Amino acid sequence: MQIAYTKHTLGNGLPVLIHEDHRCPIAAVNLWYHVGSKDEQPGRTGFAHLFEHLMFEGSAHYDHGYFQPLQQAGGVLNGSTNSDRTNYWEVVPSGALELALWMESDRMGHLLPALTEEKFRNQREVVLNERRQNYENRPYGMAGMAIVDRLFPPGHPYHWLTIGSPDDLGQASLDEVRDFFARHYHPGNASLALAGDVDPDEALPLVEAYFGGIPPGPAAAAPASDDRAPDAVRLVMEDAVELPRLYLNWRSPAMFRAGDADLDLVADILGDGKSSRLYRAMVYHGRIATDVMAMQQSRELCSYFQVVATAAPGHGLAELEAVIDAELSRLAGGGPTEAELERSLAQAEAQFVYRVQTVGGFGGKSDQLNQYNVMLGDPGYFGRDLERYRAATPASVTDAARRTLADAPRVALGVVPRGRLDLALPGSTKVVCS
């Protein structure tokens, strides 16, 4: 389970990763920029996500919508932004590889000449509308904002969500946005992966021709991270929902750090699927919840572990919390069974297999190579990444559950129907996010 690749570096510092797979006549182009919402500043948030939109609005040598020429050539494409990185990808018939490289390079090296005040204002409104649809007007949609606001202190790179603040976006100027692009979207802060029906002898000259003349850009400063654990706190938020929902959140080890993989397994044991402990205790047998899940939210600087449960009609958040705490104590005290650990390891290995089934897109081979290259400087980390899970033992999983969850402070948030603050956890403080 390795991804064979070759690595080349252009004179401007752009790493180029190539994986050959000639079984199907398609080629994947995958470009990561090592910039996300963590690289923004308080008072000027949402810029990284805004550029996810602006990058599809045309560049100097093709000042039109980005999708049409690639789709006409038979390709599919997309992009995404999170707290740590921004990625863009195209999967095209191998004969359209040069088209994809040209268009991708043009928006890296020549976006700003085509970035007008009209485009900026238009896409800012698109982002603000997306925020209204996906957060402000969606049931439980503002919970994430309340959680990161208390889980990470003011000034911490994860104190805000990727969507950003409407006030920050509304006050931003075109010059500020241009400056953000110039600092982060350049060869020195990017990684390019090609995968599929690609001949390196033909592809590398094309990459050099289209990307080689782009200036490397300034070195990006790593944002400072406050690793102190948050104070234990209970919060409540009113929302237009029918059933109360509980969110329990703990700070946890960063992506690829010691304990990160163990907590992925803890999450699987506690809340992944109908055989998990919390599902059996709360949904199947207890019937006090309609759903429950647990996850290790792995991030570059530090992560957080989360358990989410929605109360069944007639049941309250304190009842959910008591059962979750009992299961956490049981896992932290007695550890997983052999069957549980075996099942969780099988699930982890299956996820690795799923990731290498395609050459492109989100999670395909090209995306995986770029993740390892950007986050670790090692595109060939695939085998060692899998080994992190295979090396887990009942003792290591138990220790991770005890240190990170059972013995650590947490941020507990209850989202309750409007006018039903009586359903909150005892001792909760009311929060309002905007």
- Tell me how far apart the alpha carbons of residues 394 and 399 are, in angstroms, rounded to a whole number: 9
Instruction: Enumerate residues 6+ apart whose C-beta is below 8 A from 39.
Output: 48, 157, 184, 220, 223
Which pLDDT does position 393 carry in this prediction? 96
Which pLDDT does position 415 carry in this prediction? 98
Q: Is pLDDT at 8 greater than 90 in this prediction?
A: yes
Per residue in 141-180, is it b (16+ CB within 10 Å) or e — as a string? bbbbbbbbbbbbeeebbbbbbbbbbbebbeebeeeebeeb
Q: What are the angstrom distances between the C-alpha of 125 and each of 121, 144, 170, 377?
A: 6, 22, 9, 37
3-state SS of the chain? Answer: CCCCCEEEECCCCCEEEEEECCCCCEEEEEEEECCCHHHCECCECCHHHHHHHHCCCCECCECCCCHHHHHHCCCEEEEEECCCCEEEEEEEEHHHHHHHHHHHHHHHHCCHHHCCHHHHHHHHHHHHHHHHHHHHCCCCCCHHHHHHHHHCCCCCCCCCCCCCCHHHHHHCCHHHHHHHHHHHCCHHHEEEEEEECCCHHHHHHHHHHHHCCCCCCCCCCCCCCCCCCCCCEEEEEEECCCCCEEEEEEEECCCCCCCHHHHHHHHHHHHCCCCCHHHHHHHHHCCCEEEEEEEEECCCCCEEEEEEEEECCCCCHHHHHHHHHHHHHHHHHHCCCHHHHHHHHHHHHHHHHHHCCCCCCCCCHHHHHHHHHHHHCCCCCHHHHHHHHHCCCHHHHHHHHHHHHHCCCCEEEEEEECCCHHHCCCCCEECCCC
**Residue-averaged pLDDT of the chain:** 95
Q: How confident is the model at residue 341 (pLDDT cuts 50, 70, 90)?
A: very high
End-to-end CA separation in angstroms for the chain:
46
Domains of the chain with bracketed CATH: 6-211 (3.30.830.10), 233-430 (3.30.830.10)
pLDDT for 235-288, tens place per residue?
999 999 999 999 999 999 999 999 999 999 999 999 998 999 999 999 999 999
For range 142-161, the mean pLDDT: 95
Which pLDDT does position 228 carry in this prediction? 76
- Tell me how far apart the alpha carbons of residues 295 and 242 are, in angstroms, rounded to a whole number: 24
pLDDT for 49-83, tens place per residue?
999 999 999 999 999 999 999 999 999 999 999 99
Which pLDDT does position 388 carry in this prediction? 97
Model confidence, pTM: 0.95
For range 147-155, the mean pLDDT: 93
Which pLDDT does position 381 carry in this prediction? 96
Which pLDDT does position 223 carry in this prediction? 83
Do the Cβ atoms of 192 and 31 come closer than 8 Å? Answer: yes
Which pLDDT does position 230 carry in this prediction? 85
- Tell me how far apart the alpha carbons of residues 229 and 91 are, in angstroms, rounded to a whole number: 42
For range 17-23, the mean pLDDT: 96
Q: Is pLDDT at 220 greater than 90 in this prediction?
A: no
98/356: higher pLDDT: 98
